[in-house]
Amino acid sequence: MDKKTLSFQAEVQQILHLVTHSLYSNKEIFLRELVSNASDACDKLRFEALDKPALWEDQPNLDVRVWFDAEKKTITIRDNGIGMSADEAVAHLGTIAKSGTREFLGKLEADKKKDANLIGQFGVGFYSGFIVADRMTVETRRAGAAAAEGVRWSSTGSGDFEVETIERAERGTDVVLHLREGEEEFLSAWKLKSIIAKYSDHLNLPVLMRKQTWDDEKKEQVETDEWEPANKAQALWTRAKSDITDAEYQEFYKQISYDSEAPLAYTHNRVEGRTEYTQLLYVPKKAPFDLWNRDKRGGVKLYVKRVFIMDDAEALMPVYLRFVKGVIDSADLPLNVSRELLQESRDVKAIREGSTKKVLSMLEDVAENQKDTYAEFWAQFGNVLKEGIGEDFANRERLAKLFRFASTHADSGVSFADYVGRMKEGQDAIYVITADSLAAAKASPQLEIFRKKGIEVLLLVDRVDEWMLSHLYEFEGHTLTSVAKGAVDLGKLQDEDEKKQAEAAAEAAKPLIERLKKTLAERTKDVRATTRLVDSPACIVADEGDMSAHLARMLKAAGQDAPRARPILEINADHALVKKLDSAESAERFDDLANILLDQAVLAEGGVLEDPAAYVRRVNALLVG
């Protein structure tokens, strides 16, 4: 193939501009990324050679080699992995087939110097070479291809790149960085070796550098032709826990997650029995920006007998634990395991169940012994954990114990166990209310009787809470009861005198209720007197089997159709406004006051009026009159 000049994909050009002009906070990541890519190429060769042993050619040993040339101001990273064909070089180095590219660019644009680690999250690590280089050259040949099918790719990181065919005897890839002015600090064996030791110790293959020796005549260290390892070349998870320091665990986490912060917690275990595997799992401190993309996976890497298989093994961890990072290394799965087999394998099911339980145990330990740390975790990942109630029936009780809420007693951090421990004598139910915000929940008139009696109510203000309540009905025998659904029944918490007064008030209000039912027949399902109100004249509630108004609003906001359910209007028969309504001089006056009463109840509940202009007209008429 003659030399061809091609243009980068538009997104690549944007990334290259940001890389070369903005990412200066952590320049050394270029070596981390390129060594990691070289390691991946070796992993791919191992995997493909399972079915095609001829791909090994005459090089059975895999490694990555790094060296520099001080005179030419170049750094070379070589691997003898799978290599690339000409088409693959164009596809992999000139375009980015990643759905997250736009988010990546937005994140970098928003905070250019904060987190250069982002570059590894989107498969664009190759371009990090342009942080220190003004030109990059790649020479490669795919395993199994003829020597004449080698490829040279080169670019200055501007809008174009060149590709041409070359002779290349060796399988694999050389990436050559031509350093720009001012980056000579990386032309140092000590510097490069320290970066490799920092970022690549966990790689399960050697990263080699030329051995240095002292030259008495030159009075400096010089390279020899002998190669020596710059990393330990032992997968961290295969080592004994007693031999691994906390710092090593944290550094390994940063490598596999591209996170600049240490993890919140981790667990490292070797599981033996019918299914044997090793798990090293981490819970991050901070949520990734794409946490709510349920299709975005890749938290747990799957290895089989220390051979890398895939890095998005969704079958190993439930979706609600998609924030978990780590490695699972199985001794039982076949090396050529497919995604289809992962879905069907009994061994994979056992690994998934065991790993899920380990993560929950880890969270339980943090919740019990590090309450402040768990509060940080809950603020970041609590809503995702709630998804597990509907997805993981086997662990439903354990999950419920990990949940935290606001309540009328505290703005955060209230567990179901805390609530049950504070329940009033004679109280059977756990009372809850859902709302759009904490302020709206606290201001709800439906809480008035509960406040008066000192009964705690959980304030559920997250979007996932309505969905959670449709799957979680009780906790340790106590039914979860919405104070905004059905008639309020405090049972033993309401004394006989209160019951008699309520019955008498309801009886006296019967004529008024009948008038309201007729006037509001098209807007309400029912009108009734209530004991739940103390200071407010009225409130609306959903019937026992109907969808709550809060859930209906959320569905509508999401563009979904919600069944139209008319609310029940409950009135406080002792309230002055209700008594004034009963004494309205004319039918028109009564209709206006009745509709205002209902509209105010809708607004107090956090709803939106169907006809706000009519409400304003009625209020204006009331003020003038």
| CA neighbor of 548 nearest in space, from 625, 433, 451 | 433
pLDDT value, residue 122:
39
pLDDT digits (tens, 9 = 90+) for 395-407: 999 999 999 999 9
Q: Is 544 exposed, middle or buried (0-12, 13-18, 19+ CB in 10 A)?
A: exposed
The token pair that represents 84 in the structure block: 């690339």
pLDDT at position 295 over 80: no
Q: Which CATH number fits domain 236-377: 3.30.1490.20, 3.30.230.80, 1.10.3720.10, 3.20.20.70?
A: 3.30.230.80
| CA neighbor of 617 nearest in space, from 590, 594, 596, 588 | 596
Question: Rg of the Cα trace of the chain?
Answer: 33
Whole-number Å distance between alpha carbons of 36 and 30:
10
Give 586's pLDDT tier (boundaries 50, 70, 90). confident
Higher-confidence position of 114 and 82: 82
Give 305's pLDDT tier (boundaries 50, 70, 90). confident
Crossing angle of helices 510-519 and 496-508, rounded to 10°? 60
Higher-confidence position of 485 and 227: 227
pLDDT digits (tens, 9 = 90+) for 47-87: 889 889 999 999 999 999 999 999 999 999 999 999 999 99
Q: How many CB atoms within 10 Å of residue 126?
A: 18
The verdict on pTM exceeding 0.85 is: no
CB within 8 A of 484, min separation 6: which ones? Answer: 433, 434, 444, 446, 541, 542, 548, 549, 550, 605
Q: Which CATH number fits domain 4-229: 3.30.360.10, 3.40.190.10, 3.30.565.10, 3.10.20.30?
A: 3.30.565.10
User: Per DSSP, what are the bridge partners of residue 278?
Assistant: 270, 329
Using alpha carbons, list the distances in angstroms from residue 191 to 197, 216, 529. Answer: 10, 22, 79
Cβ–Cβ < 8 Å for 529, 488:
no
| CA neighbor of 277 nearest in space, from 363, 350, 344, 326 | 350
Higher-confidence position of 191 and 299: 191
pLDDT value, residue 179:
97
pLDDT value, residue 543:
80
Q: Rounded mean pLDDT of 98-122?
A: 47
pLDDT digits (tens, 9 = 90+) for 9-60: 777 777 777 766 655 557 887 898 899 889 889 988 988 898 899 999 999 9
Percent of the chain beyond pLDDT 70? 85
SS3 325: strand
- Domain-by-domain residue ranges, the chain? 4-229, 236-377, 493-544+556-624
Whole-number Å distance between alpha carbons of 309 and 338:
9
pLDDT digits (tens, 9 = 90+) for 450-506: 898 889 999 999 888 988 988 999 999 999 998 888 776 666 666 666 677 767 777
pLDDT digits (tens, 9 = 90+) for 269-282: 999 888 899 999 99
φ, ψ (nearest 5 deg) of residue 354: -65, -40
pLDDT at position 121 over 80: no
> Where would I find the beta strands (DSSP E) of 516-613?
526-529, 538-541, 568-571
If you average pLDDT over every residue of the chain, what do you get? 84
Q: Rounded mean pLDDT of 591-619?
A: 88
Whole-number Å distance between alpha carbons of 611 and 593:
15
Q: Rounded mean pLDDT of 229-235?
A: 84
Q: Rounded mean pLDDT of 114-123?
A: 44
φ, ψ (nearest 5 deg) of residue 300: -115, 125
pLDDT value, residue 595:
92
Whole-number Å distance between alpha carbons of 141 and 532:
77
Q: Rounded mean pLDDT of 598-625?
A: 86
SS3 98: coil
Whole-number Å distance between alpha carbons of 136 and 116:
20
Cα–chain center distance at 323: 5
| CA neighbor of 148 nearest in space, from 134, 168, 120, 129 | 168
Exposure on the CB side of residue 202, measured as CA atoms within 13 A: 23
Give 117's pLDDT tier (boundaries 50, 70, 90). very low
CB within 8 A of 498, min separation 6: which ones? Answer: 531
pLDDT digits (tens, 9 = 90+) for 416-457: 999 999 998 888 899 999 988 899 899 889 898 889 888 999
Whole-number Å distance between alpha carbons of 269 and 277:
9
Provide the residue count of the chain. 625
Q: Rounded mean pLDDT of 329-346?
A: 76
Whole-number Å distance between alpha carbons of 444 and 450:
11
Specify the fold of 493-544+556-624: Four Helix Bundle (Hemerythrin (Met), subunit A) (1.20.120)
Whole-number Å distance between alpha carbons of 324 and 312:
12
- SS3 of 61-77: CCCEEEEEECCCCEEEE
pLDDT at position 101 over 70: no
Cβ–Cβ < 8 Å for 141, 36:
no
| CA neighbor of 98 nearest in space, from 82, 129, 121, 117 | 121
Which range (96-100, 127-131, 320-324) has the least confidence?
96-100
Residue 554, H or E segment: helix 549-557
